[in-house]
Structure formats: structure tokens, C-alpha cells
Structure 1
Amino acid sequence: MWEESFYELSIVAGRQQGLITTAQAGRVGVDDAALGHFQDTGLLLELDWGVHQLASSSLGPRYAYPYAAWLAMAPDRFLAERPAAPADDVVLSHESACRLHGLGSFSAPHMVFTSPSPVTAPRATTIHVSRLAGDDIEIRMGVPVTTPHRTLLDLVRSGTDHPALERALTEAVQRDWVDLHAVHRDLVALAADHHFPATGPEFVHYFLSDVEPRSLSPRNLKSYTELTLGDVVQELLPSVLRVVRETHRDGAAPTDADETLSWDIAAEIVGRSRWRR
């Protein structure tokens, strides 16, 4: 009897990182008494929210608890019955996304999700209602989670204190998980309402004071240079643009692409000469 029940349980859980909800177990004929027996014998671990993990599951706590919370948002539906597009379902976000990514130090007691529409949240769960774009989401060990870039924007919008933001942003930039230029561009519109500087040098000094430029990836070194030494890049730009224009052997007029390329080259030259000697 127990063997057949555990077999049915294992089939479903095996498709869900080794996790299964009480409601899902009921759908395959495994009742509370059987679940209790499997827990007593060490075959199952209850993770809370009415979600259980097979002892044989290799999913560690960092991912198991967020995944359990995600399953608990629709406990009666199997994984295959959840929306195919992550943006149509709940997505781990805000402080919980930071903890999953390993950015900063957040100890919020609740799991935080973003949902495209209002939903009933289980206990110890916070829901933000907002429609996410597809490129705002990634899948980490089965867990739909906002990207580091989107997570930082959400933290700012929700009023996270600035020291916590500083640490999370610094780590994301140092690991090259975000494009510093893109983050600054998207945060400029929020600066006045959330009381932090928007201009490049002041923004970098405020949020990235502990960053060593020479340690950054090429793209983020260029972004760092553009934000902090934009005037120097601007001074070099005409010389670079002149060289780029000389490559047009057919006498064609310079294009917007030439301007962009010249700026990128000038920023890279300034960054490398200043911090990578």
C-alpha cells in the first residue's frame, strides 16, 4: 500500500524538482495519513505552506523554499498546468529575488512575488501586482525570478533603504550581472522621488563608492567611465570621430552609427588609460 502511494507521489514530485503540495498529493490519491507516514519514515520533509520535499531531492534550501512558495501560490495545479509564459504567472521578486540571486543582505521574513493580477497569497507571502515583461524574468533552478536588473528597479520603487540598495547594486555590477549604464538610465527617472543623485559622477559616488574600476568587466568599465569621466570622453571624441570618418574611403558622409562607435571607442580608451595601466 505505502509503496504504491509513494510511487505515485514520486512521479509527480520528480517533475517538480522533487517537491509536491498536499493538494497535488490528494489528486493522485495520497491522503494526509500517507503523507504523515512518509514524513515519519524520513521519506518526505514538510517545507511549510503545505509543500513537501522528497528526501532524495537534490534541491538545496536556497532554491527549495522559494520553489515551495511558488508551488503554494497555486497548490492544486501541477507544474504542467501552470501558465506556459512565466510573465502570466507569479514571479519571485524584490527582496526574495535578491536572496535567490545572492545579492546584498536581506532578511525579510516574507516571500515576495510579483503577479500580473491580484491573487490570494498564502501566509508569510507578499504580492506586488504588476505586469512583467518577458525579459524581466529568468528561471533559476525551476524558480521564476526577476532578473537582477528588474530586481534593483523594484527595490528602488518599493522604498528600500539606500545602504541595502548600495550593496546589492555594487555586487550586481561587480559580477557583471547588470549593465551599469542601463541601470543608471532606468533609475534616473526615480531619483527625485527616492532622494538619490541622478547625474553620473554623483550617482556612482553614492551607490558604488566601494567599486574598484579596474576589476569591472569591459562593458561596465566603459559604463563607469562614461558616468564618471564623460567630459574627458567628450574631449577625445572629435579625434576618434575623425579617424572613424577617414575609414569611409568612398567619401560617404558620417552616420549616427559612426557617432556611436566613436563614443564607445573614446570611452574605452579613457577607461583603459585611467584604470588599467
Structure 2
Amino acid sequence: MDKAFELLGDYVGEQWGMVTARQAKSLGIDAVTLYRLKDAGFLDLVRRGVYVATSAAVHRHQAEQAAWLALRPGIWAWEREPLDPDDGVLSHDTAARLHGFGELVESEIAFTVPRRRTSRDTDLWFKIDDGLTDEDVTLADGLPVTTMLRTVCDLLDQHIDGSHIATIIREAVEVGQLRLDTLADRIAPYARRYRVRPLTGTALLEHLLEQIGLTIDDLATRPRPGKRTSSGADALVAATALAHLGGLGPTDDLRKSLRESVAPATAGISAYLLDAMQHNPALEDLRKSMHAIANPAGEELSRALATFALQGPGGEELRRQIARSVAAGPPLTALPRQDASRDKPDANDD
């Protein structure tokens, strides 16, 4: 049992402290040993076929994480591609909740899947749609979920109450995860469903916002909660991360969020990056420094971190850990740079 638990420890840290029975079997740990580990208090059963180490912190989205792992129980999380024909992406009201928006009452965990699939678990709901693209999928707490733009479209397709959708739109726009102009273009096909005239996305958006006492102009000029001025440390750390992540295909959303974080309109390091890394103990110092940016006292720490990442001997490991936290595929061993000349600082460097 001790050897089995030690072996599991090398893997569960990359999966929110969880392991499936099939994954454990691939390591040579049989069902009897798993049962004994559970009986001894080392493991808990989260859902059928999915266990969590009792020493792991209970995550707020543990139910969704376990459900996603159970979709492909024999494959490790870091080996999975969200758009694989055998995989699925969390969507609809589940995606809204994972993004932290709205107050939809959720009784099931919703997945969008490219082909028909069934489950004996009554708390799972599947929407068949093979039209998802990379632009429709992002990460939330390490899970593949539909973007807020795609999520709003999915909710409109379900004909969810307009006031609920309007609340989600307002909250997402206020924190910079939705653009009103882009949203209006995408939701035009749903205007007829909500009996809006004319049949345009702008008219539908006005109709939805009206139900919570807002107009498009109101929302466009509404100050964002907690907005502050972008600091030099924000830009420095964001630019550093961009420099090291340049060229990584699986991290397009991360690069985009970091670029936005440099802009005054979306000041501060993106919460997306923090969420993507929150289960990686190796990045504890990086997370602390990013949280500290909100404090003037954190600027010196952030600068030190940036210098370390650019010039220090641990820079390569830092880049590898960031890539491993956000990439859909297995850990990368070589990370391409946008500009190889930046490897060695010169006299013109700040």
C-alpha cells in the first residue's frame, strides 16, 4: 500500500489530486489495493471509478474535474486533446459556472461532445456538436470549457431565460471576457427564437439587457469592478511571460489574455493564468508574486521574478512548468522563442 500510494503521488498532483481506477491499473495498482487505500483513509471515492487523495485540497470544481476525468478514464489529463473525437468540453450552464458568471441553477454537468455517447451517471448531460473549434475552447481551473462567447450562444440556443443570460453577459463584459461588438455579430441567428425585431444581434442584445435595466450604451461605458491603473510590474511580468511562451501552439488563449493584461483597460495579470497554474506546486512563488502585483510592495518582487525568468538558470524550468500547466498535450521539453536574441541580455536591456 505504501509503495502504491507513493507511486500514485507522482501522478495525482497533475490531476487535482485525483486518479481513475483505469489509470491506477496502468501503473500496476489493482482494484483491491485501491480499495485498501480507500479503507485506510488515503483515498476517497469522488465518483464511480475516480478517486482523490485525502491529503489533496478540496477544489471548488472537484465534481466537474472528476466527471471530465471519467470521460476517458484510461488517459492521463495532460495527454488529452479537448477536440479529440472521444473527448468532451464542459459547456452551457456548467461552463458559465466554471467561468464564475451568472446564477443558473445547475442540476447536471454539461458536456459538448463530437459524437453520441451515453453514461450510467445521471448527473451528466451531453450535447452532440462536432463543430467546436480551437477558438471555442479555453481553460478554466485547468479544465477545457467553452469560451464565454460560445457559452452565451449555447445558452441562447437552449432558450434560457433572457434575464439570466443578460446577467452573465454583463458580468463577462465587465471583466473583459466578452466584447459587445463581437457578441452582437455572433448572436444574430438567435434573434428569431427570442421573437426580436429586427432580426439582428444588436436588437437581441438590447432586448436581453433591457430585462436587467441596462442598454448597450450603459454597459459599454460602465466602469469595471475593481478597475485600477496598470503598473509597470504588470506590463513587465506579462511581457516576460509572452516572451517565453511565444510560438507555443496550445497556449494561444494564454498569450491573448496576457496581452490584454498589459492594456490599461484590462490591467493586471489575467486570472486565467493563475487558474491554469493553481494546481502546480512548482509555481507557488510565481503565483504569489502575481498576486502581490496588486500591491505597490509587490513590484520589486515582480521585477526580480522577471529578471530570473529572462536571465536566471531556472528560466527554462519556469517556462516548461508554465507550458505544462496550460498545454492540452504532454509536457514540452523544448520551448521555442519568438526571438532567440533575447536569450542573452545586452546593454540596451532595461
**What is the TM-score normalised by the length of structure 1?**
0.69
Partner SS state of residue 66, structure 2: helix
**CA shift for structure 1 position 154:** 0.6
Q: Alignment partner for residue 206 of structure 1, among 208, 213, 230?
A: 208
**CA shift for structure 1 position 35:** 2.2
CA distance 1:77–1:8, shift in 2 (3 Å): same
CA distance 1:199–1:149, shift in 2 (3 Å): closer
Is the counterpart of residue 74 in structure 1 residue 76 in structure 2?
A: no
Query: What RMSD over aligned residues (CA atoms) do the two structures have, in Å?
Result: 2.3
CA distance 1:196–1:15, shift in 2 (3 Å): same
Q: Alignment partner for residue 83 of structure 2, among 82, 87, 104?
A: 87
The residue type paired with residue 215 of structure 1 is R
Q: Aligned residue for 1:109?
A: 107
Q: Aligned residue for 1:65?
A: 63
Q: Distance in 2 between matches of 1:202 and 1:71?
A: 37
The alignment covers a number of residue pairs equal to 213
Q: Contact between 1:73 and 1:122, CA under 8 Å: does it hold in 2?
A: no
Percent identity at matched positions?
A: 28
Q: Distance in 1 between matches of 2:46 and 2:33?
A: 17
Alignment of 1:174-185 (within 5 A): 174-185=174-185
The residue type paired with residue 158 of structure 2 is S
Q: Contact between 1:22 and 1:50, CA under 8 Å: does it hold in 2?
A: yes
Q: Aligned residue for 2:145?
A: 145
Q: Contact between 2:93 and 2:104, CA under 8 Å: does it hold in 1?
A: yes
**CA shift for structure 1 position 137:** 0.7
Partner SS state of residue 19, structure 2: strand
**What is the TM-score normalised by the length of structure 2?**
0.56
Q: Distance in 2 between matches of 1:82 and 1:202?
A: 37
Q: Aligned residue for 1:159?
A: 159
CA distance 1:72–1:196, shift in 2 (3 Å): farther
Q: Distance in 1 between matches of 2:34 and 2:144?
A: 27
Post-superposition CA distance 1:70-120 (Å, at most 9, x none): 11001122234433xx22231000011011111111222211111122233
Q: Distance in 1 between matches of 2:209 and 2:58?
A: 34
Q: Which has the higher helix share?
A: 1
CA distance 1:35–1:199, shift in 2 (3 Å): closer
Q: Contact between 2:159 and 2:193, CA under 8 Å: does it hold in 1?
A: no
The residue type paired with residue 30 of structure 1 is I
Partner SS state of residue 46, structure 2: strand
Q: Distance in 2 between matches of 1:145 and 1:28?
A: 29
Alignment of 1:1-20 (within 5 A): 2-20=1-19
Where does structure 2 lack aligned partners over 5 or more consecutive residues? 225-350
CA distance 1:129–1:206, shift in 2 (3 Å): closer
Partner SS state of residue 132, structure 1: coil
Q: Distance in 2 between matches of 1:81 and 1:202?
A: 40
Q: Contact between 1:136 and 1:147, CA under 8 Å: does it hold in 2?
A: yes
The residue type paired with residue 186 of structure 2 is D
